[in-house]
Structure 1
């Protein structure tokens, strides 16, 4: 018997339908991965299943008495308190320890979290660990995870994989981590152009079957378009189409035109064009004997580095060791407590932070890119903002 039933559900946010007449049944004990391109509605579907969003049409049915734990993709704003308080949802026992308190303590220990630390003072990676602990600690019947590996270090991801493989409840997750998908998913549900496609297989098999299905779909589309072009050429002859015996053929053509409008075009690939800055000298950044501490803990000690033009550098390490702090120091956004950081001539830095703090969520995509202008300058020329955003797979409706 299904514990989750999605029946003929549609959702729209003022534009074209994001989900259109979709159906889904999830059985107890399944590990279902929701996959699809950005903006296809994966998070929306997860929120529907978690009863945090109502559909515009259709029905959402969850088994009676079902307990649900969830981890959102983004960090909630304004969440404060000790790690233990946040992980327990603010429901700390005052006198005696409840079973949930012991479960919270166990999960916090396994995730290397200090229960007395202040949540608001933690790094993004450790905050994600705390919220993950909150979802797991209630031992839910249904676990909904939206990009659970985001901001987690390798040991935490490894622990989570092992935990979920042993988890006896039902798991529905969204992730772009292919290794994570291969290890965990027992079924793939693909969101594609408003449709929901069910694949009863693991991720590796899904890739093979989907490629074959897309080839068939493309061949069928090409045959349809050739036939439509032939019929359109015929109708332009005019007088023949008005004869009584040809009225049926005209009706077929009108139906084909309707079908063409309903055809779902495959989304292309991103074509990135980046603004080219003035050429720098060979030296980009030089740091000399820098040191920095946070909250009484030393993060960086007597560190020196020279970054040259053309270098590609990865900064790795466990959550909370100071990777983001080091990056901000090298960019000049945070001064080091000791040492010197110098940037080379003509260096223009672009910083994409973890929390996307530079984006105003109240602005449209078009406003964020070009301050509401129709045209903007790029690499010495002018680009129409809608055309530019199409290169990043934003449709005109979603750009405005």
Structure 2
């Protein structure tokens, strides 16, 4: 259906692909993996024809329709979210827009004299709309938007009033509605809450076309794909299986390659030793010569490519008292909307609470209340003696000064610290060599997240309050963060929509629902087992 035939591609000085080949067949669900900057987005653009390979070709079967969702959603305003989503379905959306215009014209008293002509035109346009299954399309558009957590008001309101993350969901809905033969989804799991993520997972499982997608969400990827294409060092390698199978196979082949490399190195060392020892002796000249020729012909085994990984190192935190947070009778409202009424909640040392609830349930608000960035309307919040809070907020990355470098940003936060200790800190969070001289404005989302964490952890807290800390991290960095946090000896209160992160780190669950607040002993895995659902909004 889609074939990449010996493609080579270079961007500036960076070589992305060297005679790389892969194929996507009808109905296959393929995960595209590789380190940041390996060329995943370039590959998508080559399949859609937005870019061409320098050599080789990208062949797409005739008549195959392709829907491409990228992180760059473009401008959206002046229409409802429903109309914007329906726009992806081709001519039917234009006919729908004509219908709405004619409805407005017929209701306009200034155009009463044109009414007969407008009614006649409306009849023709309506017939065309029905022919294109337009009424069913609007129903489907609303269904998809509801799946992505839109309320009716948001669906019918101006799409221009939505935040970037919500516009991203409208762009995704447009591709899902289009029902193309092949879908290319670049990070569709970004910006989605847990309920939307699980809905999308089910939608894609039931989708009958071919799918090629990237995602930093391990559980999401694992449940959908049945094949992995890995970009590494300019080549494309295909693995038949899910993400977990790919990881096992990759580790196995690396181990085998390392063993092969070591065996060959030992053999080469032995041969070279013989040559060195006997090269001056005439009696051994023929043997030496034959061994030199043999060495020249041997195809050298390369050691496995070492992936660049970031290793987080959290400095040990001083011990806090046993009572870390006490929330008593807290109420909070934003205008008419009541978030909590008489909320009671206790956190003790060593507990790791994940806070769950649908959009608008007050998850981030609770973290703001605990950290003192927002005040309650009533009740009290007490943070225990010798508790030192480290707070990772969703907007913290926007507060970085774009003109300061990584190193200056750390210096600004800790003017008393020595250069050496700040360089060590930067190194612990993956900023080595020239990276510390990068200006904050050129950092990727993941790099900004790492810098914010470095600033938060220099003077080690014993209570970590984290609001979606993994949003901008790739899978490898996320894995490192989970590993480091599992060694953290303090207390944690966090919000995340990453099920792998939730399962690995929580030992308590606080669920915020319209019916009230529920506490669960045991972590996210136990919560799923006890409630039979992966997210609060999925209760039936």
Shift of 1:147: 3.6
Are positions 1:145 and 2:143 aligned together?
Answer: no
TM-score normalised by L of structure 2? 0.57
| TM-score (structure 1 length as normaliser) | 0.74
How many Å separate the matches in 1 of 2:388 and 2:24?
Answer: 52
Residues 148, 224 of structure 1: alpha-carbon distance in 2 compared, 3 angstrom cutoff: same
Report what 2:141 is aligned to: 104
The reply on whether 1:377 has 2:421 as its aligned counterpart is yes
Segment of structure 1 superposing worse, 352-361 or 113-122: 352-361
Matched position secondary structure for 1:221 = helix
Quote the offset at 1:301 in angstroms. Answer: 3.3
Kept in 1, the 8 Å contact 2:85–2:171? The answer is yes
Q: CA deviation at 1:377?
A: 1.3
Q: Take 1:177 and 1:224, find their aligned partners in 2: how far apart are those partners?
A: 39
Partner of 2:353: 313
Q: Residue 29 of structure 1 corresponds to which residue in structure 2?
A: 27
- How far 1:349 sits from its partner (Å)? 0.9
Question: For 2:61 and 2:173, how far apart are their aligned partners in 1?
Answer: 24
- CA distance 1:112–1:348, change in 2 (3 Å): closer
Write out aligned runs for 1:203-352 (5 A).
203=243, 206=246, 209-231=249-271, 233=273, 240=280, 246=288, 250=292, 259=300, 263-267=303-307, 271-294=311-334, 296-344=336-384, 345=386, 347-351=388-392
Number of the residue aligned with 1:83: 81
Q: Distance in 1 between matches of 2:244 and 2:401?
A: 38
Q: Distance in 1 between matches of 2:404 and 2:66?
A: 33
Bigger fraction of residues in helix: 2
The match for 1:60 is 58
Given candidates 380, 394, 406, the residue that maps to 1:353 is 394
Cα deviation 1:256-313 (Å, max 9, x = unaligned): 7x957x6442437754211445544444444444333447433333323333332201
Give yes or no for contact 1:290–1:303 (8 Å, CA) kept in 2: yes
Partner of 1:10 in structure 2?
A: 9
Equivalent residue, structure 2, for 1:196: 236
After superposition, give the CA deviation of every residue in 1:295-333 in whole Å (9 maximum; x if it has no partner): 743333332333333220101122343322332332233
Give distance in 2, aligned partners of 1:157 and 1:168: 19
Deviation at residue 174 of structure 1 after TM alignment: 2.0
The 1:318/1:286 distance shift into structure 2, 3 A limit, reads same
CA offset at residue 169 of structure 1?
A: 1.7
Whole-angstrom distance in 2 between the partners of 1:240 and 1:12: 51
Cα deviation 1:24-75 (Å, max 9, x = unaligned): 1112222112234555544443344344555565433434554332334x57
Unaligned stretches of 5+ residues in structure 1: none
2:144 is paired with a residue whose SS is: helix
Change (3 A) 1:295 1:123: farther
Structure 1's consecutive aligned runs of 4 or more residues displaced over 6 angstroms after TM superposition are: 241-244, 359-371, 394-400
- Tell me if structure 1 keeps the 8 A contact 2:324–2:348: yes
CA distance in 1, matches of 2:44, 2:405: 24
Query: Unmatched 5+ residue regions in structure 2?
Result: 101-128, 413-417, 439-540
Q: Deviations over 1:120-157 (max 9, x none)?
A: 76688755543331221122222122343345444433
**Structure 2 CA distance for partners of 1:117 and 1:276, relative to 1, 3 Å:** farther
The answer to whether the 8 Å contact 2:182/2:211 transfers is yes
Residue of structure 1 in register with 2:97 after alignment: 94
Q: CA deviation at 1:171?
A: 0.7
